A and B are shown apart, each in its own frame.
Chain A
Amino acid sequence: MMKCRQGFAILCAAVLVASAVQAQVIDRTLLGQSAQKLTIAIGGFAPFTMDGQDLGKLGAGVLDADLKFTTIFDVMEGAILPFDPTTLQLDQEKVAFPGLAALKVQFLAIAQVSSRGKEAVVEGRLFDVNGGREVFRKRYVGDPKYYRLIVHRFADDILFNLTGEKGVAQTRIAYVSTVSRTAKEIYVMDYDGANPSLLTGNQSINVSPRWSPDGRVLAYTSYRNNNPDLMLLNFDSGRRDVLSAQRGLNITPAWSPDGQWVVLGMSGGTGSGTNLYLLPKTGGTPKPLTAGPAISVSPSFSPNGRQIVFNSDRGGTPQIYVMDADGANLRRLSFQGTYNSSPRWSPRGDKIAFMCRLAGNQICLMNPDGSDLRQLTSSGANEDPGWSPDGRHIVFSSNRGGSRAIYVMHVDGSEQRRLTSGGEAYLPDWSPAP
């Protein structure tokens, strides 16, 4: 376990010592072929008060939201269960769930909340209703302060055991918030908007947070030394190091998928342009990828690390371009509208999300060859798209509710939901899965 500095403790998810009582694992490819949702019911979570809050009610709510958000589950309300889970003989070879099959419930998640000293304990179990067998059982223990994270972990385990897919319930979102007329600080919150906390706090302007692929470092641009420098915040050590402080801009960083390189926009070179440079994460001489008087910024790597999509006005208006990671083989991808920006390559590789200006600023999707343009938003001005690590969701900022706030939606544009409240929030970036 790494040393957890105060303020970063929340990022040290391993505080949860999960003593796993691993049961057998059923077919993980269950969802590989079918798009049909799995029906799951949540039971247990009996009232249990600790530090003044009912962990039972809270846990049921968190698990319900987590499972629904995956888009893989139809979640039945616990209230519909025709029996009290505590009365079931759960430890038998074959468990009977009277009346559940008739409700077409396929899986049953049961959690029992208790405490051990000052720690909260969740005994999580997942049952296959038709087979009458236990899919897995795991005990989650941790500080009640991180109780939501404990339940998130149970949710991710349910998803992983049924589909083999890594869930996003334990992920976080970094974003920028305006704290005063002159200060913009970087914050981080849980993926569902809970537990927002300040990361920078230097009373200066801090923008463009980008998680490293292992989630241990955050790259961002800070004006704290009166020049937009590129900083690296190391969560393990708490250190903030300057990676690039060339005179002029050092902005819009992107990590290579292997976490060894950062590509950023710099204006310090010869000529008037802002161009993309490749820089080792340990520092060194930046290698130019683009050249000329145009502005080329906002890079994003393809998941195989061999392509970079970015934004450039080399054709007169800001458009989306893609090039090989060595700078060769440049192609323009966007041809509709006079303003397209902020491209982000999906973690699955099959889509690029970007801001398109079609009747206002909107979030659009296209294939990496520029085909199949789709508009996902329509209400308000929507900007700064970013992907969840599983490629199923998109985070973005929108002013549809008055002030600018962080929103999430599914990749098909459905279920757009606001995460932040109060103040101005924008430029979100979704962390990798733990």
Chain B
Amino acid sequence: MQRWGLWIGMGALALSGCVSSGDIEALRRDILAVRSDVAAQAKANENSRQLMDERLRKLESEVQNRVESSLRENQNSRVALNQRLEELGTDTRFVQGKLEENASAIRDLQNRVDDADRRNQQTARRLDALDQQLRALGQQGPRSDATQQGAPPVGQPGAPAPVQPGVMPAPLLTPGPSSAAPVPAVPAPAPATPTPAPAAPPAAQVIPPPEDLYKAALQDYTKGDYDLAITEFRTYLKNYPKTALAANAQYWLGECHYSQKNYPQAIEAFGMVVRDYPESPKVPSALFKQGDAYLQSGDTARGTAVLCELITKYSKTREARLARDRNVRCR
């Protein structure tokens, strides 16, 4: 209102054309008052802006704090999660290690059971033989000293029972120090003159115990003496087909053929692992090798089929992964 009064006053002055000193004085006062009003107003404005700024800043920093803390929480929980995952991975590996140890212990036990079985069978056979001898003695009556002494010692103590002596290469069948030679059914004719023995007569040949035979065979395979290893694995499978190591022997037989690039025989041998020992842990490896042998011999269709069987039936195994690495196309 004062401003309006001022302007009207000034207009009146201008119209009247003459101004007194009192008027000017009054005018100055008014101007000063107006100025001070304006300054006060500006100050008030400034204050309120500062207030606003401050509140804004507070808000901003609060928002930022909240965002940051929630980010931090997120990150912490992600780190924790990762750590937990890693721990789980390590735990799983430890469990896997324990499983491996248990499996090994079971294998050892199985081998011992096989060994005990074999000994039992030997003992039973020996008892049978003794039994028969006793019966024969009973039938012949008391007058039999001479025949008894001259009879072939079927059950010589300490001698392993003759287990189908097969024809074997010499290096394998060096009889152990404790094993006495079984009496051959047909005595070998004594050569007239001592010759440098071209091939030792199979008379003194004994099949070694399963573990020794298996070890010898595996060693010959490792050295690359495949022909010898094949004979040894075959002898093993012929004589000890029901032992825990039989599936392995069948697998290594396939490996020997494969190493010789004899793919048809390898395919057959690996196939027999799958067919005859379906519970063996060697089955996925046998399928992988069989598929590979097919591919190597140019039979892409069969090779693909076998690898696809491996991928579907044993999808979680290392061998299935290896097969997938080969980029086979399964329907």
Contact = CB atoms under 8 A, between A and B. Distances in A.
A280 interface: no
A291 B321 contact: yes
A313 B318 CA distance: 16
Contacts of A371: 215
A369 B211 CA distance: 11
Interface string A58-74: 00000000000000000
Nearest to B288: A328
Nearest to A371: B215
A352 to B, nearest CB: 10
B219 A328 contact: no
A315 B100 contact: yes
Interface string B215-258: 10011011110000000000000000000000000010001000
B157 to A, nearest CB: 29
Contact of A307 (B222, B289, B321, B322): B222
Contacts of B321: 291
A324 B98 CA distance: 23
Interface stretch (A49-57, A79-87, A101-109, A329-337): A329-337
A370 interface: yes
A98 B104 CA distance: 62
A260 to B, nearest CB: 16
A33 to B, nearest CB: 11
B322 A326 contact: yes
A335 B322 contact: no
B20 to A, nearest CB: 95
Contacts of B100: 315, 319, 332, 335
Contacts of B218: 368-369
Contacts of A327: 318, 322
A317 interface: yes
A316 B223 contact: no
A237 B221 CA distance: 37
A293 B282 CA distance: 24
A302 B224 CA distance: 9
A313 B93 contact: yes
A328 B284 CA distance: 8
Interface SS of chain A: loop
A329 B251 contact: yes
A315 B90 CA distance: 9
Contacts of A294: 93
A330 B284 CA distance: 11
A328 B222 contact: no
Q: Which of A291, A315, A367 has the most CB of B within 10 A?
A: A315
B94 A350 contact: no
B93 A304 contact: no
A293 B96 CA distance: 13
A106 B325 CA distance: 61
B93 A350 contact: no
B101 interface: yes
A326 B292 contact: yes
Given A304-B223, A335-B104, A350-B222, A316 B90 contact: yes
B122 interface: no
Contact of B94 (A287, A316, A370): A316
A315 B94 contact: yes
B9 interface: no
B108 to A, nearest CB: 9
Contacts of B222: 302-304, 306-307, 349-350, 368
Interface in A296-327: 302-307, 313-317, 319, 324, 326-327
A306 B97 contact: no
A315 B282 contact: no
Interface string A353-374: 0000000000000011111000
Contacts of A324: 255, 285, 289
Contacts of B223: 303-304, 348-350
A134 to B, nearest CB: 26
A368 B219 contact: yes
B219 A293 contact: no
B259 interface: yes
Interface in B190-222: 215, 218-219, 221-222
6 contacts: A303-B223, A306-B259, A326-B288, A328-B289, A335-B100, A348-B223
Interface of B: 89-90, 93-98, 100-101, 104, 215, 218-219, 221-224, 251, 255, 259, 282, 284-285, 288-289, 292, 318-319, 321-322, 325
Given A303-B223, A316-B93, A324-B289, 11 more contacts: A294-B93, A314-B97, A315-B98, A316-B97, A316-B98, A319-B97, A328-B284, A328-B318, A335-B101, A349-B224, A370-B104
